[in-house]
Structure formats: structure tokens, C-alpha cells
Amino acid sequence: MKYRIEHDSMGDVEVREDRLWGAQTQRSFDNFRIGAGLELMPIEIIRSLALLKLASAEANAELCPERMTAEKLSAIRSACEKIISGELDDHFPLVVWQTGSGTQTNMNVNEVIANYANREAGKKLLHPNDDVNMSQSSNDVFPSAMHVSALVSIENALIPALSELIGELRRLEEENEGVIKCGRTHLQDATPIRFSAEISGWRSSLEKDLQMLNYAKETLSSIALGGTAVGSGLNAPRGFDTLVATKVSALTHIPFLSAENKYHALSSKDELVFVHGALKALAADLMKIANDVRWLASGPRCGLGEITIPENEPGSSIMPGKVNPTQCEAMTMVCLQVMANDVAVGLAASQGNFELNVYMPVCAYNFLQSCRLLADAMRSFRANCVAGIKANTDRMQSYLSSSLMLVTALNTHIGYENAAKIAKLAYSEGITLKEAAEKLGLLTPEEFDAIVRPEKMV
């Protein structure tokens, strides 16, 4: 394997000839063999950093044209577009478990941009620090990348997947409008409900989650760029912060603003905690829905069996013919991971010291994993489970007709205590509510039939 010599302020370093990174990336690659090859810096962060480098170069070209020449801007743009498109993914080898500021990943991006551009130009056109990192610091670029990647992930992946699932539930709700079944509270029989009403509860929960997510995500629209090392803006030209936010907005088609207080933007991660709280709320509702579905589908003969779900794969290596609610299981595992990630994001955000938070990579890693997992899981759950849910109306009717809680309809006619006597007698003697009411002399069969009508109780 061939190597070349790269140089930084600490001296010379050998780098593989076929890699575009430089000395600082190589040092991090050598020094942080923690989760190597498995827990890399999220690619969403890498692409957001490239986008911020392009926006910064465009702003610098307007504010400092003598330093950011048209030739340099063109070279940076070409390299950044390659990164954003995914063509250079193999040149970002660094793990999450590195410096807490993300400096080494910032330099990884700077070096790849510079080396790619220099190879294309056939000369030393760009310097990773002086040109690609102009008017920036890792301390303001990395938190900006966290906000950009988080908001882009929510807008482009999470919200579409959530909206599609809501739409599928709305279709299922309409399909089951006339189906009546037994309701349940405390895992015990309760009064009748429409199956469509039960589904509407699932749909409404997700719609509320979407509302909360749309509200919370707006806090991510402020970015730290322009604060540079400690929030003072040292080495950035006047007006850079607002201009670069405009450039980022144009590139992402999502409105971004310069953070009002850069000292806060560098040291606090409260916006990410707040938005991840909305992700956790979504995970809590998805957990409930997935558990409801697998309870209702339990069986097929010895469970509730009120619905059927698609049979996607064999469920057992020893029990022939067994099929399991695997999409529900995958969804609930994802929800647990998101809830665990919420703890990590909150703890990471609490570790800001003075002018910087140095737990940013782990915060970003967990936040983006939550977005990615939730989006993927909702799409899988919708396509491979919810879309194929069918009501077992015979089973629903059987449970409904034998439910003791139909007795609730009698409360306003014979009183709670008399109704309770009917239910207890029916249960203890294994007879119907109608038979118990007649046996106790509280109602005639005709009176019972006139009052206890499940379709009127929903």
C-alpha cells in the first residue's frame, strides 16, 4: 500500500495515498480506536458540515473577496457537492468517540475538501484551515451542523414517515366504521366501542405528536456560525453570521437564522433536548400502538384474536406454522432505544462548561439515530403491518355478546348496585346477563333486550 506525507502544526504524518484526508484526521484515526468501523460520526453530520463549508465560502466571497477568490470558491463548491452527494463517504473514517467538540471531524471535512480541490486543480489552491475553515471554528461549525442535520432529518425523513402512517391509520379507521367490539381498561373488559374509534385514538395520538414536533423543531432553526471559538466572533468579518445563515437557508430550502446569543449557542444544547423530547413522546405513542396491535392480534386460537396482521415470515425454528408480530416487536425495540437516547441527549447537554459543550458528538449521534430509527420503523410498520390489518368481526362479536360490562347500560334504570349484582351472579354461575337479571327478578327478558343494545352504547 502506498503512502504520502501530510503535514500539520505537530509535524509529518503518513496517510494512505488513496485517501483524501490529511494529518489531523490521521492522528484522530490512530488515536481513537473506539468502536472503530461501527460507530462512525453520522453521515448526516458530515454532509451538513460540507453544506456549512459551502455556505461559509459563499459568504466569505462576498465579505472578503481578496481572500476567498472566485477560483477558491468554485473549488470548495465542487468538493462540497461531491461530499453532499455521498460520492466521498469513504473518506470520513472517524468515530463518534473523539474530542467532545467535534474538532477532528471538522478538520476531516476541511482536509478532504482541500485535498480533493487541490488534486482537481493540480496545485496547492486550498489550505484546510486558512481557506476551507475561514471565518469559522469547530466550536461554532459543529453545533451548527448538529442543528442543520437534525432539522433536515426531521423535515425530510421523520415527518414524511409519520404523515404516511397517520394516513394509513385514517384509511383503516374509515374501513372499520361500522364494527363494534368490546372496549378494555386495565386489561379487563369494559363497555363497547367502535373499532374505528379505537383506531382514531391511535391516529389522534400521532397527530398530536406531529403537532408537537412541528412546534419544537423551530428551535433548531438558529445556528451558531459566526461565534467562532468562544462566541465572540473573533476572526469572522462583520455581518458574516447573518449572511451565512441566509446562505444555509438557500442551500437547504429550510429557513435558518443566526443565533441571537452565540455564547449560548456554543455552550448549551437545550434546543436538542427539547426537540428530542418530542421524539420521545412519539416513541411513547408508537410503543402503545404497537403493543395494542400485537395484543389484539394475539392467538390465533388462544389469544384475543380480534384482528389479523400480515404473516411476513416464519416465527419459530421449532414450532411449525407459528407466525409472530415481528413488526410490532421491531417497533417497540426502536421505541426503547429512542427513550434511552433521550437520557444520553439530556445528560450530554448538561455538560457544558464555560464557553463550550464538549459532549457534542455523542449528543448528535443519539439524536440522529432516534430520527433515523423512528422514520425507518414507521415506514416498515406501516407497509408491513398496519396496511394489512383486518378485523376479525366474528371474534369481536363473540367477545361483545359475552361481555359482563354490557351491564353498565342498566345503571340508570336499576341502579349501580343492582347492576353489579347481575354481573356478579352471571359470572359466578356462568350464565348470561339476561338470565341473571331475570333470576334476580330485576328485569324481564324483554326489558333487558330493550335496554342492553351494544350499538347504542358506543
The residues annotated with a catalytic role in the active site are 186, 316
Rg, the chain, Cα only = 30
* DSSP string across 52-71: HHHHHHHHHHHH-TTTS-HH
To which residue does cell 464538549 refer? 358
Q: DSSP 3-state assignment of 303? A: coil
Which long-range contacts does 309-312 make (Cβ < 8 Å, 24+ apart)?
Answer: 309/385, 309/388, 309/389, 310/384, 310/385, 310/387, 310/388, 312/384
Beta partners for residue 132, in sequence order: none
Q: Which residues of 128-174 form beta strands (DSSP E)?
A: none
DSSP 8-state symbol, 455: G
The residue type at 250: A
Nearest Cα neighbor of 307 from 434, 195, 452, 170 is 195
The residue type at 77: R
Q: Taking a C-beta distance cutoff of 8 angstroms, is the pair 179, 196 a contact?
A: yes
Beta partners for residue 5, in sequence order: 14
Q: How far apart are CA 244 and CA 140, in angstroms?
A: 12
Q: How far apart are CA 137 and CA 230, in angstroms?
A: 9
Q: How far apart are CA 394 and CA 259, in angstroms?
A: 60
Q: DSSP 3-state assignment of 38? A: coil
To which residue does cell 398530536 refer? 208
Give me the sign of the Cα torsion angle 250, 256, 257, 259.
negative
Nearest Cα neighbor of 285 from 245, 331, 320, 240 is 331
The residue type at 116: Y
At residue 215's C-alpha, the angle toward residues 213 and 217, to 5°, is 65
Q: Taking a C-beta distance cutoff of 8 angstroms, is the pair 146, 364 a contact?
A: yes
Q: Taking a C-beta distance cutoff of 8 angstroms, is the pair 136, 395 a contact?
A: no
